[in-house]
Chains A and B, each alone.
Chain A
Amino acid sequence: MNAPMPNLMLDVARLRMDFPILSQMVHGKPLVYLDNAATTQKPRAVIDCMANYYAEYNANIHRGVHILSQQATDAYEGAREKVRRFINAARREEVIFVRGTTEAINLVASSYGQRLWPGNEILITEMEHHSNIVPWQLLCERSGAVLRVTPISDAGELRLDEFERQLGPATRLVAVTQLSNALGSINPLRRLIELAHGVGAVVLVDGAQAVAHLPVDVQALDCDFYAFSGHKLYGPTGIGVLYGKAALLDAMPPWQGGGDMIREVSFAKTTYNDLPFKFEAGTPHIAGGIGLGAAIDYVSKLGQPAIAAHEHDLLSYASEQAGAIPGLRLIGTAREKASILSFTVAGIHPHDVGTILDDAGVAVRAGHHCTMPVMTHFGVPATVRASFSFYNTIEEVDVLIHAIRRAQEVFG
């Protein structure tokens, strides 16, 4: 197949100039950054707006009477509104700022989890990231609930028949990823959520991987919780979001205690603040929240459909080219996929592939991608994972393919 025409909707060459890090050389070669599933690079707009906060109006929020505190509060709360719009939450107070997806899931497991009892069940899937497995295991240990796991097919697709069979009146909570970080599989969320609600279970969606690649509309999905991290959405590390339906969040006990989450404190009795502050104890990552807002502005300007179209072209081209390499095995061949090209090369350990790709300037991830059960399913200790962003190009895919062939030569 010939390389497809570059997508006319995105001027990728121009967009790349917005990302200072992308123009550098590594090992004497142009950097080809294909580790976007681990973290995305940051546009100048994000970097500048964070620096600007520290340089111009650094102050604590929600308490100062002075002008800088008001500016900082406005910017931080403005970012919350940007998140609300981005995921189409009904209300701003349904957007809780946290450190990242992992913290968001732990918050739900700790707080919502207090209403789980022996005999209850939590249903997750075989393709979950460790951060959407371990908090539920810990909750099961505490509560006596039982963890059940829906298997995947050898293509890396969720076994919908099994999911449906495993759901039952004992299922209190379902936790599922929207987009698998190890396989690239997209889950049929609306169907899963409908089925789960049918038995009265609440659903948490791990959106860490999806949020940069797929449309997210929490109301259309009707999910109860949605978790994501800023740094996989071109924003800073250390900031993320837990969306929750207001009725659920209202009924949940606070998670961490401290400043900002209280209304009135006395040694006799403390009353808690309203949403979202009830779940935001302590001074938050103010610059991070503002930076996430800037990242959302940036991707919103590009438009999700244009991003998805270009990334689809990249993934199709890469899958075809990689699939033609003898000895290369694609791990994850779901019909509905995005962004992720996970593979092994016969006779070469993924870490050795990773080192040789790095030498060619190509940054990928080699390892288990925090999904050990997925590795077990496919009988491999690790995979090489190239993950694409809208700022990647067809030419960069060619560099990747060439470097894989080079690895085969080195091990020839």
Chain B
Amino acid sequence: MSDLRDLYQELIVDHYRRPHNYGPLVGANRHAEGFNPLCGDRLTLSLNVVDGMIKELRFEGVGCAISTASASLMTDALKGKTEAQAEAMFQHFQALVTGTDKAEAPVSLGKLEVLAGVREFPVRVKCATLAWHTLLAALHSVKQPVSTE
């Protein structure tokens, strides 16, 4: 039960209920789509990147609490970051939710760390990382939808 409470922390439920940065982004210059066909989670990410810096980003779609909260927290965290910083955060986040960060010097991810509980639920890692893989696709201008399944 403690694992379950670690997974569904209040902050995650809040971001699921009232996701931040949700909706279309006017003037976006990068887009990507994430889709996990087996579970049906789907999200579209739109960014406005100027001189290598993420000025603004928003998302839309349907998903479970984990994938929605992850997208919401990610969009909060990446505003004002450079593309290089965003890619580094992707690596750290990936390590956080898969539990492969233990040996390394922990890098603070701020509020994103609330998703660390996912590591105890391996089948839900794909939910937490869908937004992040969609972000990479947007930064690298990948046209076809990405999946984490």
Residue numbers of A with Cβ under 8 A of B are 347-352, 355-356, 359, 366-368, 375, 381-382, 410-411
Residues of chain B lying within 8 A (CB to CB) of residue A359: 1, 3-4
Is B135 part of the contact surface with A, judged by Cβ < 8 Å? no
Residues of chain B lying within 8 A (CB to CB) of residue A411: 8, 13, 65
Residues of chain B lying within 8 A (CB to CB) of residue A349: 16, 63-65, 68
| CB-based nearest A residue for B5 | A410
Known A351-B127, A355-B121: A367·B7 in contact at CB below 8 Å: no
Residues of chain A lying within 8 A (CB to CB) of residue B13: 410-411
When the two chains form their complex, are residues B39 and A351 in contact, meaning their CB atoms are under 8 A apart? Answer: yes
Residues of chain B lying within 8 A (CB to CB) of residue A368: 40
Closest 6 pairs between A and B when the two form their complex, measured CB to CB: A349-B64, A351-B64, A381-B40, A352-B65, A359-B4, A410-B8
Q: Which of B42, B68, B124 contacts A355 (CB 8 A)?
A: B124
Q: Which of B4, B16, B41, B68 contacts A356 (CB 8 A)?
A: B4
Is B62 part of the contact surface with A, judged by Cβ < 8 Å? yes
Residues of chain B lying within 8 A (CB to CB) of residue A410: 4-5, 8, 13
Q: Which of A347, A350, A366, A375 contacts B17 (CB 8 A)?
A: A347
Residues of chain A lying within 8 A (CB to CB) of residue B121: 355
When the two chains form their complex, are residues A381 and B65 in contact, meaning their CB atoms are under 8 A apart? Answer: no
Number of A-B residue pairs at CB separation under 8 A? 46
Q: Which of A347, A352, A356, A375 contacts B40 (CB 8 A)?
A: A375
B contact residues, total (Cβ < 8 Å)? 23
Residue numbers of B with Cβ under 8 A of A are 1, 3-5, 7-8, 13, 16-17, 38-42, 62-66, 68, 121, 124, 127
Chain A nearest CB, measured from B24 CB (Å): 20
When the two chains form their complex, are residues A348 and B62 in contact, meaning their CB atoms are under 8 A apart? Answer: no
When the two chains form their complex, are residues A352 and B64 in contact, meaning their CB atoms are under 8 A apart? Answer: yes
Known A347-B17, A355-B121: A367·B38 in contact at CB below 8 Å: yes
**Can you list 9 pairs linking A and B with CB atoms under 8 Å apart?**
A349-B64, A351-B39, A351-B41, A351-B64, A356-B4, A356-B8, A368-B40, A381-B62, A411-B65
CA distance A334 to B121 in the complex (A): 35
| CB-based nearest B residue for A410 | B8
Known A349-B63, A352-B66, A355-B121: A382·B4 in contact at CB below 8 Å: no
Residues of chain A lying within 8 A (CB to CB) of residue B3: 359
CA distance A367 to B63 in the complex (A): 11
Residues of chain A lying within 8 A (CB to CB) of residue B68: 349
When the two chains form their complex, are residues A382 and B39 in contact, meaning their CB atoms are under 8 A apart? Answer: yes
Residues of chain A lying within 8 A (CB to CB) of residue B40: 367-368, 375, 381-382
CA distance A367 to B1 in the complex (A): 23
Chain A nearest CB, measured from B16 CB (Å): 8
CA distance A106 to B5 in the complex (A): 45
CA distance A151 to B131 in the complex (A): 35
Residues of chain B lying within 8 A (CB to CB) of residue A348: 65
Residues of chain B lying within 8 A (CB to CB) of residue A355: 4, 7, 121, 124
| CB-based nearest B residue for A348 | B65
CA distance A351 to B70 in the complex (A): 15
CA distance A236 to B15 in the complex (A): 43
CA distance A408 to B5 in the complex (A): 13
When the two chains form their complex, are residues A367 and B39 in contact, meaning their CB atoms are under 8 A apart? Answer: yes
Chain A nearest CB, measured from B43 CB (Å): 12
Residues of chain A lying within 8 A (CB to CB) of residue B1: 359
Residues of chain B lying within 8 A (CB to CB) of residue A367: 38-40
CA distance A347 to B40 in the complex (A): 17
19 additional A-B pairs beyond A351-B127, A367-B40, A381-B42, beta carbons within 8 Å, are A348-B65, A349-B16, A349-B64, A349-B65, A349-B68, A350-B64, A351-B64, A351-B66, A352-B64, A352-B65, A352-B66, A355-B7, A359-B3, A367-B39, A368-B40, A381-B40, A381-B41, A382-B40, A411-B13
